[in-house]
Structure 1
Amino acid sequence: MSPSYDLFDLEHFTVGATGSPGQRVFYLQAGVTGTLVSLKLEKQQVAALAEYLDGVMREISDDPEAIVPEADIGLIEPVEAEWTVGDIGIGYDPEADRMLIMATELLAQDHPDDPASARFRITRAQVVRFVARARQVVAAGRPPCRYCGAPLNDDGSWCPCSN
């Protein structure tokens, strides 16, 4: 059974990728003193999470642009995934003024164990930094096909739908 995490007052919360475009592996990383958690996820999950968080910030903040992202926050090495993310849930605790990111482990269909989970409570500033970082990481990959949106091949010139 994989370990579960429940972290508050995070000192580190980011997303990143290792490898070359077309072969990248994406990670969500969170940490507090003495604990660093890296979870593997898909590029589409990173993009969707960033867009959703951006929308939530626009709803709960009078002026979301007033929070200026700090310097780019990269992954802390070595990056070793605890497990792969299946589902991601998001909540907001107005009393603590924290966003809650909850990730659940992706398990094989025939796996009898309960999936692990990770709960990360992040500040508004961490949300803004995460959204900016996630957009950079996603954009650094292969360009999308102008017809179907799927990534072009490694040299950026061909997609199967162009046949």
Structure 2
Amino acid sequence: MSVFHEFDDVDKFTVGTQGRPGARTFFLQIRAEGTRLAVKCEKQQAAAISQYLDKVLADLPPAEDRPIQGAMELSEPIDPLFVLGPIGLGYDRSNDRVLLQLEEMGEVDEDGEMVDDENRGHIRIYITRGQAAAFAKHAGQVIESGRPECQWCSSPMDPDGHACPRMN
């Protein structure tokens, strides 16, 4: 039986990490109707969601509601429901909400086809424009707080040192 959650009114939608730069694990976290869910994701997925939200918001009036500052941090414990696979994003003009559909990563056969597609987990949420703007801003900060880039080769530098191919 697959896991399916749908929330029309979300209290919190955020992204955060656990671990040190270079070995961080990214999580999306949703809180709605007394339920808190987490999904493990890739840095690139968080960045793609943030970029999409920025694009959608650029075509809409400025958001009036904004989450409380500091409310974007992950809440403990973080127990991911699944690992994020496909992401669906949209805007529903009828209720002035941004739609996000988060689907569990599924197994793929040797032909690249999904195996047992109907048993993957799904989370569908609707967030306000203010929540979308806050998520996009916070996601940018979380992503940028990783390892700094080397000024010579643009590769990430580890805290323990960096073997720059341009400096050898």
Output the TM-score relative to the length of structure 2: 0.83
Please give the residue correspondences for 1:7-18 in structure 2 after superposition, counting only pairs within 5 Å.
7-18=7-18
Deviations 1:100-153 (A, max 9, x none): 011111122244352221111000110111011101110111123456654333
CA deviation after TM superposition for structure 1 residue 60, in Å: 1.7
Question: Residue in 2 aligned with 1:132?
Answer: 137
Percentage identity across paired residues of the two chains:
39
* Cα RMSD for the two superposed structures: 2.3
Counterpart residue type for residue 106 of structure 2: L
CA distance in 2, matches of 1:121, 1:136: 23
User: Does 2:95 match 1:96?
Assistant: yes
User: Does 2:74 match 1:79?
Assistant: no
Structure 1 residues 113 and 54 mapped into 2: Cα distance closer, same or farther (>3 Å)?
Answer: closer
The alignment of Structure 1 onto Structure 2 pairs a total of residues equal to 161
Question: Residue in 2 aligned with 1:38?
Answer: 38
CA deviation after TM superposition for structure 1 residue 80, in Å: 0.6
Partner SS for 1:102: strand
User: Does 2:124 match 1:119?
Assistant: yes
Please give the residue correspondences for 1:124-163 in structure 2 after superposition, counting only pairs within 5 Å.
124-145=129-150, 149-155=154-160, 157-159=162-164
Q: Which sections of structure 2, spanning at least 5 residues, go unmatched?
A: 110-114
Counterpart residue type for residue 124 of structure 2: R
CA distance in 1, matches of 2:92, 2:44: 26
User: Does 2:11 match 1:6?
Assistant: no
Q: Is the 8 A contact 1:14 1:28 kept in 2?
A: yes
CA deviation after TM superposition for structure 1 residue 161, in Å: 7.1
Q: Is the 8 A contact 1:143 1:156 kept in 2?
A: no
Structure 1 residues 158 and 56 mapped into 2: Cα distance closer, same or farther (>3 Å)?
Answer: farther
Partner SS for 1:82: strand
CA deviation after TM superposition for structure 1 residue 154, in Å: 3.5
Q: Is the 8 A contact 2:65 2:131 kept in 1?
A: no
Question: Residue in 2 aligned with 1:105?
Answer: 104
Structure 1 residues 54 and 159 mapped into 2: Cα distance closer, same or farther (>3 Å)?
Answer: farther
CA distance in 1, matches of 2:151, 2:65: 33
Which of these residues, 57, 68, 71, is aligned with residue 70 of structure 1? 68
CA distance in 2, matches of 1:54, 1:128: 7
Q: Which sections of structure 1, spanning at least 5 residues, go unmatched?
A: none
Q: Is the 8 A contact 2:43 2:143 kept in 1?
A: yes
Structure 1 residues 103 and 27 mapped into 2: Cα distance closer, same or farther (>3 Å)?
Answer: same
Counterpart residue type for residue 103 of structure 2: T
User: Does 2:17 match 1:55?
Assistant: no
